[in-house]
Amino acid sequence: MVDATMKSDAAVARGRQSSSLQRTFQRKSTIAFLMTLPLILLIAVLVIYPAFYAVHLATLNKTMERYVGFSNFLFLFKRETFWMVVWQSCIFAITAVIFKAIIGFIVAHLVHNIPSKGQRKWRGMLLIPWVIPPAMSTLAWLWLFDPSYSAFNWIFERVGISPIPWLGDVYWARFCVILVNVWIGAPFFMIMYLAALKSVPEQLYEAAKIDGANWWQTMRFVTIPMMRNIIAITALFSTIVTFANFDIVRVLTRGDPLDQTHVFATWAFRVGIEGGDIPLGASVSLFMVPILTIGAIFILRDIVKRGNEA
């Protein structure tokens, strides 16, 4: 009897304790859930849902009344412009990212080399292309590439080089969109690499110097391994952004001459919004997904790795 009351007392005490614990736990998680609710709603309604809706749209006919399965995709596969867009998007993204990475790497080293009191000024000046909204700075390039008043051609004329048809010729136009992309994106690489360079401990360089390492060996065995993660993340991130780029091609060439400079985003806009064929436009933009997914998986892996190291 006594034993039983004691037991039940203990049980009640334990019960009270656990229920109050449970309540606080519930309260905390409820508050947390409410705090994240707007975020969850935003992502669900305006990102996740449209992403799947795009897949649904891609299976409809032009008037969006009839389910047509894969025929939008099959139609695209038969069009020459589509394959051109695939090529152009890949060449555009790969070339631009490689040059951005190289220029960013070089400039980061140059800035890192000079005395630290001047570094701030140089860094600030060199980041300006990244700060100007791309649509506006591309207008400046459009004017520099103007067919009759190109300021570059004016200089070329003075030194005896024949004028270049910047945006009139297919290959030059492709070169121009890549050049502008490199111009806008290289400063971003520079800033990231500079941050990475600053985070390499000075002792490592001292140790390398004592061991008699030359410039190349220091670079190969100290700098690059220490920066590897940031190099990878920046390059992957930039690949995604460049591959999905819209502003530069749209302002500079609008896909001309003869649709030869279109990338996925601008062609999807041309077909889907301007051409009024939303399902076909959605199908075009969906072709970006595989590359974006690959990029995202690698970035995520690198970031998780980084998190584990820290």
196-235 binders of another protein (CB under 8 A): 199, 230, 233-234
Whichever of 145 and 174 has its CB closer to another protein, that residue is 145
Q: Is 161 in the site for another protein (CB under 8 A)?
A: no
The correct pick among 6, 10, 11, 31 for binding another protein (CB under 8 A) is 31
Whichever of 15 and 147 has its CB closer to another protein, that residue is 147
Note whether 248 and 67 are within 8 A (CB).
Answer: no
The correct pick among 160, 212, 290, 307 for binding another protein (CB under 8 A) is 307
Q: Which of residues 47-76 bind another protein (CB under 8 A)?
A: 47, 49-51, 53-54, 57, 64
Q: Position of tokens 């890949």?
A: 90
The correct pick among 97, 126, 173, 222 for binding another protein (CB under 8 A) is 126
DSSP letter at 64 equals: S
The correct pick among 111, 167, 178, 197 for binding another protein (CB under 8 A) is 111
Q: Is 255 in the site for another protein (CB under 8 A)?
A: no
Q: Is 262 in the site for another protein (CB under 8 A)?
A: no
Q: Is 143 in the site for another protein (CB under 8 A)?
A: yes
Whichever of 6 and 131 has its CB closer to another protein, that residue is 131
Q: How far is the CB of 293 from another protein (least distance, A)?
A: 9
Note whether 222 and 206 are within 8 A (CB).
Answer: no
Q: How far is the CB of 14 from another protein (least distance, A)?
A: 24
**Sole window of 13-21, 65-73, 111-119, 219-227 interacting with another protein (rule: CB under 8 A):** 111-119
The partner residues of 67 in beta bridges, in order of sequence, read 60
128: Cβ contacts below 8 Å, ≥ 6 apart:
187
In degrees to the nearest 10, what's the CA dihedral of 170, 174, 179, 184? Answer: 130
| 60 phi, psi to nearest 5 deg | -105, 165
Q: Is 187 in the site for another protein (CB under 8 A)?
A: yes
**Sole window of 2-10, 75-83, 162-170, 267-275 interacting with another protein (rule: CB under 8 A):** 267-275
Q: How far is the CB of 12 from another protein (least distance, A)?
A: 27
Size of the site for another protein (CB under 8 A): 97
DSSP letter at 223 equals: I
CA atoms of 16 and 23, how far apart (whole Å): 10
Q: Which of 273, 281, 189, 191 is nearest to 232 (CA)?
A: 189
Q: What is the 3-state secondary structure (H, E, C) of 165-215?
A: CCCCCHHHHHHHHHHHHHHHHHHHHHHHHHHHHHCCCHHHHHHHHHCCCCH
